[in-house]
Amino acid sequence: MQRCSWTGNDPLMIAYHDTEWGVPVHDDRKQFEFISMEVMQCGLSWMTVLKKREALRSAFANFDVQKIALYDEKKIELLLTNGGIIRSRRKIEAIIKNAKAFIKVQEEFGSFDSYIWRFTDGKTLEYPGHADGTVVIARNELSDTISSDLKKRGFSFLGSITVYAHLQAAGIINDHRDYCFCYHH
């Protein structure tokens, strides 16, 4: 079975690729988990985040935005002592800030899912050259647009490159290679 080469031979990376990455996400909690993981990944390897995923789920109330939005300075200080997570004050504060902004988006659009998928009319996009590997990018006009809109809505740590990674993970952009068995999911 062939898969995208970035998975390497690591079982954790393979499981993530085979069961989650690029599968269209329509669950708000999962969207927020993916966004938060992308925030934590900034400047680090994806493997680092995957290895800390269970600790992050525990530390961030299974990515329940209502609970995270209530985190205060005392909770931030406690999280900074948690060796199981990425202990970056700026990233922890960004996740809390993003939870508050996420709730506002849910209130305005009915769900974050409705908000994010409206940028593609509810369809997964594929760009020419991505599937065969002739075009490899880390951001595009769509991620620029969404990143800008998210920033206006109060989100942080979600620049265009981070948003592009989220769009890939959440199946909004199909960036599986055409030889990968997940390409047609």
3-state secondary structure 5-62: HHHCCCHHHHHHHHHCCCCCCCCHHHHHHHHHHHHHHCCCCHHHHHHCHHHHHHHCHH
CA 86 to chain centre: 16
Which residue has tokens 């620049």?
159
Distance in angstroms (rounded) separating the CA atoms of residues 22 and 183 = 9
CA neighbor of 126 nearest in space, from 185, 46, 181: 185
Distance in angstroms (rounded) separating the CA atoms of residues 3 and 179 = 7
- Catalytic site positions: 16, 38, 46
